[in-house]
Structure 1
């Protein structure tokens, strides 16, 4: 009796798929299909004919044994497997783009490019010092900084469009894909203009604060949700007289010219507190955010420039006594 051949191991099958079946034109087409819900449009962007693009998709589906796209009357929609493959294709092309850029910059004598994403607090307290230190070592390097929400920046990091992120990992599904070096959490204070009617009050309560005009972050943000939960936990309705913004250049003049209040980390407005343009209310919100930190892709080899920026960030954090104290206070005993 003949013995049937043993099925290939997952790693062997994966290796064969990558080395024998997957081609650069597959990657390019997948990325374009992620951008355009149309085979015709994606094929044109990938410089392929529509029949050739359809054959490439069918080839991938046959080799993988899964459906990658649902064919609809008005185009195609990626399945879960299709979405996963599109993301990985985007990362692979981004890596090749980065390699080409690094080689070109090395040949031209430039120092490379580092792309960083950051939430607001480390951008004010850490990033300027780290960039200054980095530029003292990589004079010709270009540093690009993006400000957004942690979720959006982690997505860009996973897609290969950012080298480092200073932020939080909010989606637990991404934890196995990322490395996280915690820096500190954020204590939020009530910030107002000097001379605010509540500035000298020592008997403030949450009920009175709920009646104030507030500057709040957009709905759906962590801080907005936690502020809302704080008021609701005390049986209070959240403030209704609000302005939604995260922009410090708008928040400062609004506070200076009105009796509005805002909850912010002290680090973000320290310069305005030192110059007495703003003041803190003597009220403890008891509001702390999850720790933010340095986020990188697990298993990813950073470019020399990105590795230099990571080193500069670590040195800046280690040299900051306030951050060291914060981290000690935040560490459970």
Structure 2
């Protein structure tokens, strides 16, 4: 589609209800349920979808017995429609903020380590300056946060850019990397061992990060490179409250950045096992969307993050 044709498509064919329907179709995988969520009848939703496919000249969804599945073209349209709607929400929010002074809402995501240190400090400082600004925080893996950022559901995130496909859409301001240590309860049977081996660790009970995460993949590679099977006794979670509760009640071990559990180490509730995993995660940083102007509240959050990060001695 040429630039002129693209402009004609947006001005002549594309309407807000098309974008709302696309987003709901992506969420529900069903024309009926998407129509209900978009306050449309099913025939009206089917007609809107047909209009879009006709205007674009491509099939956006495959119709199957149990619903619909987006094609590659459909995935692009769903993602872009979500971002466009988020832009309009942000425009409305910005206008309201300008009318009422700096207030409104900023949505930020973070991976675990900065969510326990950098982010709380930045939010505290931000709220001391702009008490009416509402901050919504999501703690997740970089993969999930990137999906939400690209869809316009987050204003910014602290994490990692995982692939070259999305790198062109994003700004990345590096902060620091994450050396991981093995953490266990104080008094754990392995805590007093000076001769720990990978074989010992493979027989231990582990709290593992979610499947598909970078850390999980690197742990798998670590065991396989030593010719060892994966630990047989595992619990999978990324929730810090669950992790610390499990550690306190069992002999499980978990790989974590030390700063995440620093208060527990300080008061002697947890301990670092005497074994060097040699495991460092890639550098994480502040990530925003290129060519996207932040609302005043979100810009204030970004400026405060940069201010706090600049004071951290090990920040990149």
TM-score by length of 1: 0.85
1:74 CA displacement = 6.2
1:33–1:39 Cα contact (<8 Å) kept: yes
SS in structure 1 at match of 2:310: helix
Gaps of 5+ in 1: 1-8, 328-333
Change (3 A) 1:127 1:38: closer
1:248-292 Cα deviation digits (max 9, x unpaired):
223223333433322111010111111122221222110111221
1:189–1:266 Cα contact (<8 Å) kept: yes
SS in structure 1 at match of 2:223: helix
2:143–2:213 Cα contact (<8 Å) kept: no
Q: Give me the CA root mean square deviation.
A: 2.4
Distance in 1 between the 2:247 and 2:172 partners?
Answer: 35
Deviates more, 1:89-98 or 1:192-201: 192-201
Deviates more, 1:31-40 or 1:274-283: 31-40
1:202 CA displacement = 2.5
- Tell me if 1:254 matches 2:246: yes
Change (3 A) 1:93 1:233: same
Deviates more, 1:277-286 or 1:48-57: 48-57
Structure possessing the higher radius of gyration over alpha carbons: 1
Partner of 2:140: 148
How many residues are matched?
Answer: 316
Deviates more, 1:234-243 or 1:253-262: 253-262
Change (3 A) 1:312 1:213: same
Change (3 A) 1:38 1:251: closer
1:57 maps to which of 35, 49, 60: 49
1:223 maps to which of 215, 221, 237: 215
Deviates more, 1:38-47 or 1:236-245: 38-47
Distance in 1 between the 2:295 and 2:56 partners?
Answer: 32
1:69 CA displacement = 3.4
Change (3 A) 1:27 1:251: closer
Partner of 1:166: 158
Within-5 A mapping of 1:28-47: 28-39=20-31, 41-43=33-35, 45-47=37-39
Partner of 1:117: 109
Change (3 A) 1:92 1:240: same
Partner of 1:268: 260
Partner of 1:320: 312
Deviates more, 1:204-213 or 1:152-161: 204-213
1:36 CA displacement = 4.3
1:130 CA displacement = 0.8
Distance in 2 between the 1:73 and 1:128 partners?
Answer: 47
1:76 CA displacement = 4.4
Distance in 2 between the 1:240 and 1:113 partners?
Answer: 44
Gaps of 5+ in 2: none
2:288 maps to which of 296, 307, 315: 296
SS in structure 1 at match of 2:58: coil
Distance in 1 between the 2:219 and 2:76 partners?
Answer: 35
Within-5 A mapping of 1:68-217: 68-71=60-63, 76-109=68-101, 111-217=103-209
Change (3 A) 1:133 1:54: same
1:212-266 Cα deviation digits (max 9, x unpaired):
2222223333222222221221122222122322222232233334333221110
Partner of 2:231: 239
Change (3 A) 1:189 1:11: same
TM-score by length of 2: 0.89
SS in structure 2 at match of 1:122: helix
1:113-156 Cα deviation digits (max 9, x unpaired):
11011111000121011111211222210001011221111111
